Amino acid sequence: MSATLTSSPGAATGSAPAARQSYARYVGGRLLGALGSLAFVLVVNFFLFRVLPGDPARTLGRGRFRTEEQLEQFRATYGLTEPLPQQFVTFLQNTLTGDLGISLRYRVPVADLILDRLWPTLLLVGTSMLLATVIGVYLGMISAWNRGRPVDRVWTNSTLTLYSMPEWWLGLLLIATVAVGAGPIPGIFPTGGLNSVDVDPGTFDYVLDTAWHLTLPVITLTLAYLADYALIMRSSLLDELGEDYLVTARAKGLRDIAVRRHHAVPNALLPTTTLVALNLGFVVSGAITIETIFSIPGLGLLATEALSIPDYWVLQGTFLVASAAVILANLLANLLYGVLDPRVRT
């Protein structure tokens, strides 16, 4: 009897360090994977343009350089006269110090340009994702709890319709109806832009004006995003409702509503949590089509403008920032999933 009593505490204390070591190995593996992905992105970001056939200076110049002296000056300014390995080393050094080059169009550092365009994208897509997550998860729960009933069919068909609807088409539809006006429907919302020209920055009216301009873009992205969360939450919750542990919880006398909310829903949120964390990475890249349609001066519109020149250093910078954000969000999703579900650590 005494042997049993002395061995039990040892087993209990030994399990905690083992769990911490298991999670530490899990975190280490995910960190190495994220660093490897980031290194791959850096290599692709450098060689993607330079391996294309033709002269980068002539491609970027688009006929603006009339003489060979102008071409040589351009090549020397942007380091294109150096050997390719030296260019790659210089690229890595500049990237690690935050130097992403000079924009060909705006003649300002790309890092400053990206920082200036970052907050409209975060405001637009971040607000849309927050609304889409809350509404989508709620609709998925309602549909799963009422499986086969009219409310389930209505919400499921609605979310499937939104899921298959292109974002740009939905945005143009909203502009044509409630921004421009169609028939008896008046045009009450702005057709584009982030602010009105007659509003002073830093005032409360400026905040209200920004919110008014973002109403249609936020509605568009919210309707497009919530379909993902609603469908995944519904599917996950339906899988959980058939598990044995819920039958055991009901057998212990718990009310069905308590079993659903406190047992089924937390486990069903695991796939949705992963999806939310992964989509956070795409907040930085922005919704290119929506920012272009509504003329929102974010990273998406910046990338579209850079493609038309082409402004290679802006494209290189936005691609790097967007890719790094996705990698970071993927890392956070893996770490969070390891906390919520210890089984994935093995």
Summarize the confidence of residues 26-44 as an average pLDDT: 87
Confidence of residue 343 (pLDDT cuts 50, 70, 90): low
Structure token pair of residue 133: 């997550």
Per-residue pLDDT reduced to its tens digit, 287-336: 788 888 898 888 888 888 887 777 778 888 888 888 888 888 888 877 87
- Where does residue 98 fall: left (phi above 0), alpha (psi -120 to 50 degrees), or beta otherwise? left
Cα dist. 231→46, 49, 145, 223, 242 in Å?
A: 38, 39, 13, 13, 18
Per-residue pLDDT reduced to its tens digit, 214-227: 999 999 989 888 88
Summarize the confidence of residues 11-33 as an average pLDDT: 71
Contact 42, 92 (CB under 8 A): yes
Distance CA 55, CA 313 (A): 16
Q: What is the pLDDT of residue 50?
A: 67
Distance CA 29, CA 36 (A): 11
Structure token pair of residue 192: 């584009």
Per-residue pLDDT reduced to its tens digit, 154-174: 988 888 888 888 888 888 888
Per-residue pLDDT reduced to its tens digit, 173-217: 888 888 887 777 777 888 888 888 888 887 888 889 889 999 999
Confidence of residue 1 (pLDDT cuts 50, 70, 90): very low
Model pTM score: 0.76
Please state which of the ranges 240-244, 334-338, 342-346 shows the lowest mean pLDDT: 342-346
Structure token pair of residue 180: 């421009």
Distance CA 206, CA 334 (A): 39
Structural domains of the chain ordered from first start:
107-345 (1.10.3720.10)
CA torsion angle for 243, 247, 253, 258 (degrees, to 10)?
30
Per-residue pLDDT reduced to its tens digit, 316-327: 888 888 888 888
Summarize the confidence of residues 249-266 as an average pLDDT: 76
Please state which of the ranges 48-57, 130-139, 236-245 shows the lowest mean pLDDT: 48-57
Select the more confidently predicted residue: 2 or 156.
156
Contact 230, 155 (CB under 8 A): yes
No. of helices (H) and no. of strands (E), the chain: 14, 0
Radius of gyration of the chain (CA): 26
Structure token pair of residue 5: 């009593």
Give me the phi and psi of 107, to 5 degrees please.
60, 35
pLDDT, averaged across the chain: 80
pLDDT at 31 over 80: yes
